């Protein structure tokens, strides 16, 4: 019986050791589970923050795209005005050249006529005609 009692005592001791190890493992597992839960909560919070940042970046990109479209439209309108002004300048230049040619032709026509001072050539209102070739050339 002594051998049986010794075996029983040894088995009880081994069982107690196993229970202590199991309790320690359970405590360690519980601690690891709590740490994991905290890390997961932290990750979820950071994930929410990253999502919010990405949303803000997407909104900023959309605003930039809209601004770029407005700038492009403005530049197109400016380009159209510049082209219109260039066409108007060309037309004005052509008109100026035509007027200059007409003025030159008129000067040539006037140069052919010379009015001299004659008492017989009184103008209506009592004035007298007096125009020299030099005066006519100024026209």
- Written as one string, the DSSP assignment of 65-119 is HHHHHHHHHHHHHHHHHHHHHHHHHHHHHHHHHHHHHHHHHHHHHHHT--B---T
Domain membership flag for residue 124? no
Domain membership flag for residue 47? yes
Summarised one tens digit per residue, pLDDT across range 102-119 is 999 999 888 887 665 444
The model's pTM: 0.47
Domain membership flag for residue 122? no
Domain membership flag for residue 95? yes
**131 φ, ψ (degrees, to nearest 5):** -150, 125
Domains held by the chain: number: 1
Domain range holding 54?
2-117+129-137
Q: How confident is the model at residue 10 (pLDDT cuts 50, 70, 90)?
A: confident
Domain membership flag for residue 106? yes
């Amino acid at each position: 019986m002594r051998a049986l009692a010794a075996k029983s005592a040894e088995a009880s001791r081994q069982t107690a050791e196993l229970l202590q190890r199991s309790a320690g493992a359970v405590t360690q597992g519980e601690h690891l589970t709590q740490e994991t839960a905290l890390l997961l909560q932290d990750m979820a919070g950071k994930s929410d923050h990253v999502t919010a940042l990405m949303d803000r970046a997407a909104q900023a990109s959309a605003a930039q795209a809209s601004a770029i479209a407005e700038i492009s439209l403005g530049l197109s309108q400016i380009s159209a005005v510049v082209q219109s002004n260039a066409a108007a300048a060309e037309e004005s230049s052509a008109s100026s050249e035509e007027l200059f040619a007409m003025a030159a032709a008129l000067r040539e026509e006037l140069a052919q006529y010379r009015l001299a001072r004659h008492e017989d050539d009184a103008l209506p209102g009592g004035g007298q005609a007096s125009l020299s070739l030099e005066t006519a050339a100024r026209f």
